[in-house]
Structures are given as structure tokens and as C-alpha cells.
Structure 1
């Protein structure tokens, strides 16, 4: 049984259950992401090469647990986004082990908020 009443979508005007995304909003969000991804350099162009794979694997062997939740870490994250700065990219003191969930949710939200604060 739903815990909240259905809501009226501000985009399409139809009623949706709470937590259910409107298909038109979902399509709009996918299109926005696709436009962004077309402009973004691929992983290799951003510096995530074979050497990075080797170094990050070694780092995860030394630090196998996510520093946020304690689950097994799946990837190495840059504490401060490097934005192409190779010195910052390879600085091991800027690396942290994260699980996929922590990296893809909380960490990404924090980076989006920080980038909005910097913009004029």
C-alpha cells in the first residue's frame, strides 16, 4: 500500500504515484544527458589510461574498503576533481577508495553543488 497520495506532474499534468517518474520527464532527462555526453571527452582522453587502471588497482589493494560506508571499495575517486590537471590527477594524496553507491550518489551530488557555487 502506498504511503503517500499520488501527485500531479508539473510537466505533463497527469497523476503519478510518489516516487514514480513521468515518462516524458525521463525522456527529457535522457536527452539532456546524451547532449552532455556528446560534448564530453571519453575516459581515455580524460586520463583514465592503462597506467591509471594499474595504479588504481594497486591503490585498492592497499585500501580495499570504502571510506564513506565501509563496504568493499570498487573504484578510486579523486577527492578534489582534477579537471585535466595531471599533477592533481596523479597525486595519490588526492585519491580515495569508494564503493559504486557512494561514488555515484553522495560524491557526485557534492561535486555538482560545489561547481554551482563556483559559477557566477
Structure 2
């Protein structure tokens, strides 16, 4: 097994292997805050009472995560709808996921596209 060594951050701090420098954490937090400030809220993106009812019905019909088989808590859009109402309400574009699969695996896949 190869040893992992500390690295030198661009700010000049020595950072232990596997950790992030405080300046990197602060930059990521600021970037995420800028993104959130420009993003419409959930209701404006279509996640309203109608969606909550459809989501509940879908999870009743498909209660297990498509990836790992654990209980599903999220109805995910397979192809991101990006505001397209037709794609948003297309049930063939939905899949049941548990929160860990949605937040880890699915988001990573979307960011690689």
C-alpha cells in the first residue's frame, strides 16, 4: 500500500493527506452560496402540492431504491428536467431512490455530464 503524503495548498498551508485546507472549504462554501442565490426555490421549480401527491403515489407503488434495494424516499428524474414540464411529469422518467444513492451516486453522475 502506497503511503499518502501531506500536500502544500495554494495558500501555502501544509495539509495532511485526505483532508482539505480551510481556504478550500471556504471557497467551496462561497461557490455553493453563489449558486444557491441564483437558483429558484423548490416551489418555483415545480415541486409543489401536486408534485408531493404524485411523489407519494409513486413511492407507494415503488417503495424500494432502484440501485440498492433499501426503502426509497426520493423520486428522482432519470433525465434532469431543467424546467421542462413535459419531462418533469413524465413518469417513465422517474425512479425511486434512497437518499444516500440519490445524494452520492446520482449527483456524481449528473455532474460528470
- What is the TM-score when the length of structure 1 is the normalising length? 0.86
RMSD of equivalent CA atoms: 1.4
Q: Could you tell me which residue of structure 2 aligns to residue 62 of structure 1?
A: 61
Q: Distance in 1 between matches of 2:18 and 2:56?
A: 37
- 2:9 aligns with 10
The answer to whether the 8 Å contact 2:6/2:17 transfers is yes
Structure 1 residue aligned with 2:22: 23
Give the 3-state SS of the residue equivalent to 1:68 in structure 2. Answer: coil
- Superposition TM-score, scaled by structure 2 size: 0.91
**Partners of 1:4 and 1:18 within 8 A in 2:** no
Offset of residue 105 of structure 1: 1.3
Partner of 1:87: 86
When the two structures are aligned, how many residues end up with a matched partner? 112
Residue in structure 2 matched with residue 101 of structure 1 by the alignment = 100
Shift of 1:15: 2.1
Structure 1: segments with no counterpart, 5+ residues: 115-120
Deviation at 1:51, TM superposition (A): 0.8
C-alpha distance in 2, partners of 1:49/1:9?
47
Question: What displacement does 1:19 show?
Answer: 2.0
Which whole-Å deviations, capped at 9, do the CAs of 1:23-52 have from their partners, x for residues lacking one?
Answer: 110010000000011001110000000110
For structure 2, the residue ranges without an aligned partner over 5 or more in a row are none
